Structure 1
């Protein structure tokens, strides 16, 4: 197909002529999305924030994010939660952490219920703070004394012991006593100086004192993707696939649309193009069986890729086109002849055009007059899958009438071969085009040319034999 398949007007044509099919496929996609959501139970996500005081570089924050989701922290949280059948490895997939501005790490936990999601995020945040404090204190043992306050208590106790020893020593009576008291005072001074330096440089005091900023808020809604998102995504996916499928089918279609291609496939010359009013095509061929009813219900029995019919002139102008085709046939043939009008089965437009040609041929002066007369035409329908043309009897030629964009080169070549097998020479081709007739007043409307009732696949005779 031409580049017309990617234009917006083509998309609009699909929506206008295939809206029933698109609506059905959209509903089917929504049902598929609903079924998919059943396979994925709803999940809820809660988040807890941990504040990191002090100055932190970006790489240090990323390190703390990795620690918050490490197996050491998550396993401890799993042990404190005590959920049956849920191990630390399973919780590791449900926990995530991100670093935000202001030295804040957000820890998120996902679970089947809002309560569990809240508990998971709170426990992981608590265990993260404890584990970070242990790392800052130089030990990963949970039983180790890593609290700076405990260290200060030890120092205070040592100072008391030093005082007791100093009081027990001989208060200045002997040289040994004076030396012992001096040594103990030096030891006390060294301990106090070491504690001051420890308070100034202790990373546990400056950085590792993390604070959990309150409990996690209980989630009020499901975490994405929700059931509604599944339904909307399924409906949208099926709708887009249907539109893309129509465009792909049109792009890869092998139906012939141009006059030179059709003339080359039938190995004959084009005699002209005739117009068929579009409103007359409102009658659709009545198929039988459930498949035909489904096709009519979904609108599949009407082509969508045909261009929008152009507005034509009046009835008299359309009849002039038919008369010109008949005149070209008359001028091309040496003497009045009987011709078969071959119409592919299923081509409703061509069938009506053939009926109009027969009516115009009947209205021509008889061969006995000064004019040589139009050929006598008889319409036959030919199946494109198994083309079969009646053998040569009174007719001595075939006129092929078809609509553009309906048949492939192979199908038209099959019709040409069927005509040759029946010893009928294809004397010409007539293309039928759909147009929109201009509304006319009922009083001024000319009498419509009689169109014989033609059945596709059955013979219809026009003119005296």
Structure 2
């Protein structure tokens, strides 16, 4: 896991180098949001309020809210509206909740404002009718029994009150016991009076159980949230955020090596040199093994080049680049002794490494002829792209006869970094590994080193290639004003 802190510049780098991929993410997220709107978007929504008269308990109000969306009320509303559906079809479009002040709010949604208003009003009307009918059906059977019970309780309270009066009159003494008895009798009388008041209030409240619709539902002026536009925009933004965080997570978990010291330590050898390759010299590798549509798709989505690898802001001058490559070629000859016959090992997904080998071969050809044995077609393309003066290396195929050993021979070999296999080549001085910065992990480099040892070749060193942006074009120097010759000046004089 990479321990580097995720900086804001890295987020900007994701947008700058992966903006096409993020745009595709945004389009896919917008399409997903549009699809989700079919399920999540309620359309047009409005509410109708029903007031329950009388004192109500909280559990009673919750029961009334369930009654408001019961199957009987839904079936009656569907039958009255005649929209061609049943009550079960309206169940997902209607909700009821308890509001403040004994109010049941019935909320309905539909695809048009008119239908939403009609559904809310009809549900409120059917709920009031059904609840009223329920109250009348149950009240008729128990009203007489309840009235008889209340009358009997009232007579019992009156008889108890009369008995208390008689006992109070009998306890007319002046002693302490008489005073205490009268005090207790007065307390009992007060309790009976409170019970009588509660009985009267209960009787009056049982007669105030009506339901009243507090007015027609308002016609909605716009769609309820979340709307189609909100879901589309939200889906696009969410997809972009997922893409950005996915890139940042990949950056945090990146284990590829970027510096000379890290690459040399993983290979167990020295880094012979560090060179740069301008981005304009980059070539596509192994296109013949991939369908063309896949190559074009990778280029369109900017997947053909890594985004995490830092590019040098400006390419070196031509003189500095030539100096670096010349010194590298000199180290190769001095390290192995003339004539040089080295295997140059590159990964099959590293186009910058091939461009670096092409520049190295051209630079080495200045002092003595260089021949390159390879079957990599991208190498010839990279040599052709380099606009440099001087001789070019002679390119041989591995099926051609071996060139004589009196000149420098570089045998360019592509291997798979996942399972590298170095070919058996006789009479070679060693292997030079050319890799781009930030493309290989430590384990991949160890695997390449072990593949060289398995083939019996010595690793002479490594060459690290850095990407750089092309240098800005220098403005053309303004032409110097023509100075007339002495003869012309004198010819024009009087």
Report the TM-score, using the length of structure 1 for normalisation. Answer: 0.66
Residues 291-328 of structure 1: CA deviation (Å, up to 9, x unaligned): 22222222221222212423354333333333443454
Cα 1:263–1:294, aligned 2, differ >3 Å: closer, same or farther?
same
Q: Distance in 1 between matches of 2:205 and 2:305?
A: 79
1:203 corresponds to which residue? 205
The structural deviation recorded for 1:341 is: 2.6
1:432 corresponds to which residue? 465
1:319 corresponds to which residue? 322
Number of residue equivalences: 381
Q: Distance in 2 between matches of 1:103 and 1:72?
A: 17
SS at match of 1:15: helix
**Among candidates 379, 382, 390, match of residue 414 of structure 2:** 382
2:124 corresponds to which residue? 125
Equivalent residues of 1:61, 1:99 under 8 A apart: no
Equivalent residues of 1:4, 1:10 under 8 A apart: no
Q: Does residue 463 of structure 2 align to residue 402 of structure 1?
A: no
Cα 1:73–1:268, aligned 2, differ >3 Å: closer, same or farther?
closer
Q: Distance in 2 between matches of 1:275 and 1:435?
A: 6
Q: Does residue 66 of structure 2 align to residue 69 of structure 1?
A: yes
Residues 117-161 of structure 1: CA deviation (Å, up to 9, x unaligned): 3333224434555677789xxx552784999xxx9xxxxxxxxxx
Q: Distance in 1 between matches of 2:221 and 2:411?
A: 73
Equivalent residues of 1:67, 1:73 under 8 A apart: no
Residues 414-461 of structure 1: CA deviation (Å, up to 9, x unaligned): 4334433444311111111112354363779xxxxxxxxxxxxxxxxx
Q: Does residue 420 of structure 2 align to residue 420 of structure 1?
A: no
1:214 corresponds to which residue? 215
2:270 corresponds to which residue? 269
The structural deviation recorded for 1:51 is: 4.4
Equivalent residues of 1:73, 1:131 under 8 A apart: no
Provide structure 2 residue ranges, at least 5 long, that are not aligned to the other structure: 148-195, 370-406, 478-494
Cα 1:345–1:433, aligned 2, differ >3 Å: closer, same or farther?
same
The structural deviation recorded for 1:74 is: 5.9
Q: Distance in 2 between matches of 1:99 and 1:71?
A: 11
Q: Distance in 2 between matches of 1:73 and 1:293?
A: 59
1:47 corresponds to which residue? 47
Equivalent residues of 1:69, 1:96 under 8 A apart: no
Residues 323-355 of structure 1: CA deviation (Å, up to 9, x unaligned): 443454455446664333322223222222223
SS at match of 1:69: helix
Provide structure 1 residue ranges, at least 5 long, that are not aligned to the other structure: 152-193, 367-374, 445-465
Cα 1:245–1:331, aligned 2, differ >3 Å: closer, same or farther?
same
SS at match of 1:433: strand
The structural deviation recorded for 1:23 is: 2.0
Equivalent residues of 2:69, 2:94 under 8 A apart: no
**Among candidates 455, 466, 474, match of residue 441 of structure 1:** 474
Cα 1:61–1:424, aligned 2, differ >3 Å: closer, same or farther?
same
Q: Distance in 1 between matches of 2:133 and 2:35?
A: 48
Aligned 1:182-193 pairs, distance under 5 A: none
Equivalent residues of 1:314, 1:437 under 8 A apart: no
Residues 28-76 of structure 1: CA deviation (Å, up to 9, x unaligned): 333344445457796543201234678x7xx846742541332686624
1:170 corresponds to which residue? none
Q: Distance in 2 between matches of 1:297 and 1:320?
A: 36
SS at match of 1:427: strand
Equivalent residues of 1:96, 1:109 under 8 A apart: yes
Q: Distance in 2 between matches of 1:338 and 1:412?
A: 22
RMSD: 4.3
Cα 1:387–1:76, aligned 2, differ >3 Å: closer, same or farther?
closer
1:78 corresponds to which residue? 75
2:384 corresponds to which residue? none
SS at match of 1:120: helix
Cα 1:249–1:347, aligned 2, differ >3 Å: closer, same or farther?
same
1:141 corresponds to which residue? 137
